[in-house]
Amino acid sequence: MDLVIRDARVIDGTGGPSYRADVALAGGRIAEIRREGEPRPPGRRSLDAHGLALAPGFIDMHAHSDLALLRDPAHEAKAAQGVTLEVIGQDGLSYAPVDDRTLAEVRTQITGWNGDGSDIDFDWRTVGEYLDRLDRQGIAVNAAYLVPQGSVRMLVTGWEDRRATADEIRRMRRLVAEGLEQGAVGLSSGLTYTPGMYATGAELTELCRVVASYGGYYCPHHRSYGAGALAAYAEMVELTRAAGCALHLAHATLNFDVNKGRAPELLALLDAALAGGADISLDTYPYTPGCTTLVAMLPSWASEGGPEATLARLRDDATALRVRRAMEIEGADGCHGVPIDWDAIEVSGVSDPRLAGRVGRTVARIARERGQEPWTAARELLIADGLGTTILQHVGHEENVRAIMRHPAHTGGSDGILHGSKPHPRAYGTFPHYLGHYARELGVLSLEECVAHLTSRPAARLRLPDRGLVREGFRADLVLFDPETVAAGSTFEAPRQLPTGIPFVLIDGRFVMEDGRRTDVLAGRAVRRTPVR
């Protein structure tokens, strides 16, 4: 054996009781599991795991590391949490498939998520070429990719707010099929982000039929997490039912005052669909605030035509006044149909370093300090930062967070944006926060249940036959953590602090974290869709 992990408390990912065992690794896989009292396997190297829990590597079902994986080979933010696989290409916007025009547009649109990419050689255009680039360069953790529906629509129809023609839908179906053939695991949407939000339900259903034929899943950021949240969830359930497609609800929470305490209504909707034979899963992050870009708060009509058209509207006083009215009085669709509360919008990152003084302040506070109205401060910031401003939106409810994470269809996803000087702490802390705060301290889930939510359930959604469990023959993607001390180090005040209590992480049997330190191992690879059998 290459390595024997001795005397570990094995939490195997099934949700069943833990047990003590020696676990032997060979050739990047789990070769033997010898329970306490059985003969101990020999190995060239052994690791004393007394006092530590051994679990499958955690799977981040909602990550925004599309460029971070290329920019930062160490990727310590995720490796230190025990994450061994991330799912990227989220919220309908990413960098493949693209052409020269749409690459420039999407780089501008999601600068707030990933930076402008000026430090990246974009030597790909297709999904397959992007996945090949990850493999060629070498990455810290494994990565699976979703075809981004907004990027597909951008390629075919541009930024127009209109119905797609039958020919355009055929072209979009072909692009989705090509992405799946090249290894994507499904399709994502950002239905509060332009231009993906311009798609009708009928258009999305046609794309989901393609996804279903390849055995993938649909992962929508649906049309509202606020005033229309329950109707938006219901739309996604019905849409995928009609398409015969598996559904995975992205960051499935209920926010804003209109949804306080309404998680049971969402769960009842999902339970009814599951009882009727639907294939549904979801992910959440274990925090109440959300994180997105400031430009995403605008009404959709203000972003039609792309980033330059958006900036032109913001510079025009009369149009900007219409935008303000939509946001502050009517409740813009970008802000989920709820009038914006500027005291709840905290700037977490800027693209222009000259604007760094705004970071960590709410828009309302910035306005007070500058003697302005909040809309004026927000408008000036959007223009000055070229739409690259990232925000925290403090609109969540703890009772909803806890209720949803208990559901059997739940999995963990960080929704972690690593860009910006003061990112959401979920980027560095999601998985230890689940284990330490919600399992150990609050008992919302047992430790065994919590590990299952973070491992075997996402592996099942991704159709990965040899990941997500501590089982002989499975890949040796493993994490060793101390159940008594594991905790997120990241906070809203210091969001880039690494977790405690996770000393060892292995991918394919190789240490990417050893004694609490990042090694130089780049064991990650692009994890491509498992063909339908």
- Angle subtended at Cα 520 by Cα 515 and Cα 524, rounded to the nearest 5 degrees: 100
Rounded CA-CA distance 425/427 in Å is 5
Task: Tell me: pLDDT of 339 over 90.
Answer: yes
Task: Tell me: pLDDT of 530 over 90.
Answer: no
Question: What was the pLDDT predicted at 390?
Answer: 95
Binned at pLDDT 50, 70 and 90, residue 421 comes out as confident
What is the DSSP pairing of strand 517-518 with strand 280-284? Answer: unpaired
Question: What was the pLDDT predicted at 532?
Answer: 62
Rounded CA-CA distance 30/4 in Å is 10
Task: Tell me: pLDDT of 533 over 70.
Answer: no
Closest CA to 83 of 435, 404, 531, 368: 435
- The residue written with tokens 């599991």 in the block is 33
The rounded mean pLDDT for the chain is 96
Q: What is the mean pLDDT of residues 232-243?
A: 98
Query: pLDDT tens-digit profile of 387-398?
Result: 999 999 999 999
Question: What was the pLDDT predicted at 122?
Answer: 98
- The residue written with tokens 């049997």 in the block is 509
- % of the chain surpassing 90 pLDDT: 98
Rounded CA-CA distance 21/248 in Å is 34
Rounded CA-CA distance 16/371 in Å is 58
Query: pLDDT tens-digit profile of 181-190?
Result: 999 999 999 9
CA 117: distance to chain centroid? 19
Task: Tell me: pLDDT of 322 over 60.
Answer: yes
Query: pLDDT tens-digit profile of 437-489?
Result: 999 999 999 999 999 999 999 999 999 999 999 999 999 999 999 999 999 99
Query: pLDDT tens-digit profile of 270-308?
Result: 999 999 999 999 999 999 999 999 999 999 999 999 999
Q: What is the mean pLDDT of residues 316-321?
A: 97
Query: pLDDT tens-digit profile of 187-220?
Result: 999 999 999 999 999 999 999 999 999 999 999 9
- The residue written with tokens 């933010």 in the block is 77
Binned at pLDDT 50, 70 and 90, residue 35 comes out as very high
Contacts of 377 (CB under 8 A, 6+ apart): 363, 366, 367, 370
Sheet arrangement for strand 217-221: 58-60, 83-88, 142-148, 186-190, 217-221, 246-249, 280-284, 410-412
Q: What is the mean pLDDT of residues 61-81?
A: 96
Check if the beta carbon of residue 436 is closer than 8 Å to that of residue 483.
no
Task: Tell me: pLDDT of 87 over 90.
Answer: yes
Q: What share of the chain is helix, strand, coil (3-state, %, to 5)?
A: 40, 20, 40
In angstroms, the first-to-last Cα distance of the chain is 33
Amino acid making up residue 181: E
pLDDT: which is higher, 532 or 375: 375
- Partnered with residue 21 across adjacent β-strands are 8, 35
CA 336: distance to chain centroid? 19
Check if the beta carbon of residue 222 is closer than 8 Å to that of residue 193.
no
* DSSP 8-state class, residue 80: T
Before 425, cis peptide (omega within 30)?
no
Question: What was the pLDDT predicted at 524?
Answer: 97
Query: pLDDT tens-digit profile of 108-134?
Result: 999 999 999 999 999 999 999 999 999
Question: What was the pLDDT predicted at 129?
Answer: 98
Task: Tell me: pLDDT of 411 over 70.
Answer: yes
Question: What was the pLDDT predicted at 341?
Answer: 97
- Partnered with residue 147 across adjacent β-strands are 187
Question: What was the pLDDT predicted at 420?
Answer: 87
* Reported pTM: 0.96
